[in-house]
Chains A and B, each alone.
Chain A
């Protein structure tokens, strides 16, 4: 029988690997030197014949999705990828600085890695950070953030809460569409997944 050998080894010297038997969605593997996550795993086997695993994998650096076929039983190197919660501290123009709340360990993340996500990051907010070989690979903002309106044109006179919208700039630099009654200095709840206004925040 095929003996499972996967998982990370505690001594950190031997290269951890997975056999195709352990393939499942979400498993992080190394292909051609890049970290990938398994999106789909299909087991193909004629009863008396060679077994295969046809997998769909997503490159964690580029987001590109590709297909690969393995002979079942083959081993693939594990990618040292982990998802962790970190608190956003500040950015100095070049780097975004994050901290692990439990250990106070800090990570400086190049602005290029943070990319467009930066416009949702408010100091002290907790984000989901994917680490590859201990270095941040990507940053996910919280699903909802509360941000102050720093600039928006005054609403038209007599306007009520119904209909119409206007652009508003938030404290992080993000620009979103808001209802006409929203004023500068107000706190708004924003959905970072859609980039849309949700409601006024309580305080």
Chain B
């Protein structure tokens, strides 16, 4: 944003940007009302956090409860209880995530659709994004295709050593961080080399199984998962899953996360047993997606960071 720096007490965002944000939130709520998707609210402070290797939670000091990094687990419990299609616009918290496109406290739109697969939900994400950013064709590339288009080897078949060698050939990937595991190396290459090559709007599908998170594995190729992401102008806007419904598989993934956290001497949060119990009682077949509202609004404003779309970002909060 041009102009003089704003005083510390004032919002970094322009007042017109905040009015624009309010209008977009109203339009998003209307979008779901038309489709009979129910708005829900779930706790921001809860007993369980997440075991994700790369998401560090924040805790409330008095109670030890976790500020939720996403409303996903609570919303899945509502789905298991029979609520049906639902959405939520809520605050989410992630320690240490601060930068041009990150704020440790941010606004997530999360929604679930019963009976949808990844493709059906991607189509709905495209419609919602068009409401805010206008209509523009959206390309789709699998994770492996996106690597090929960026001149990188196949992430599903290449050895760690060969991928490192390929990484050294790309200026954008320099300087290479030291001591990366294979998935970390893929994350770095994806962020630095692949994403800048993507079309203006692009879905990435079929993430490697190691990055499945809570998505089910693809039945036709279990090296990949039914997880998708949407990138707009190089910014990650949404992450969705054709949801894994099997609690035993999910417990396995949580345990693997916990042991990897323990290996690197990082805090090891407990597994959310209420989520697993809800899944054991029956999570209906569904797809779900989380979309970063601050980023979407910032792109709608043609801004070069989320500060332009937030009343008070971390440094002013």
Contact = CB atoms under 8 A, between A and B. Distances in A.
A47 B229 contact: yes
Contacts of A51: 54, 96-97
Contact of B211 (A2, A48, A70): A48
Contacts of A68: 175
Interface in A147-196: none
Task: Give the secondary structure class of B's interface.
Answer: loop
A60 B239 CA distance: 42
Nearest to B236: A47
B96 A2 contact: yes
B95 A2 contact: yes
Interface string A45-75: 1111111100000000000000111111100
Given A47-B236, A49-B54, A42 B184 contact: no
B93 to A, nearest CB: 10
Interface residues of B, number: 35
Contacts of B174: 67
Instruction: Identify which of B55, B99, B177, B188 gathers the most chain A CB atoms within 10 Å of its CB.
Output: B177
A70 B102 CA distance: 17
Interface stretch (B12-20, B56-64, B126-134): B56-64
B239 A48 contact: yes
B174 to A, nearest CB: 7
Interface in B263-308: 266-267
A49 B267 contact: no
B180 interface: yes
A6 to B, nearest CB: 13
A1 B97 contact: no
Contact of B213 (A2, A42, A48, A67): A48
Contact of B99 (A43, A50, A67): A43
Contact of A49 (B57, B95, B176, B187): B187
B316 interface: no
B248 interface: no
Contacts of B100: 42-43
A138 interface: no
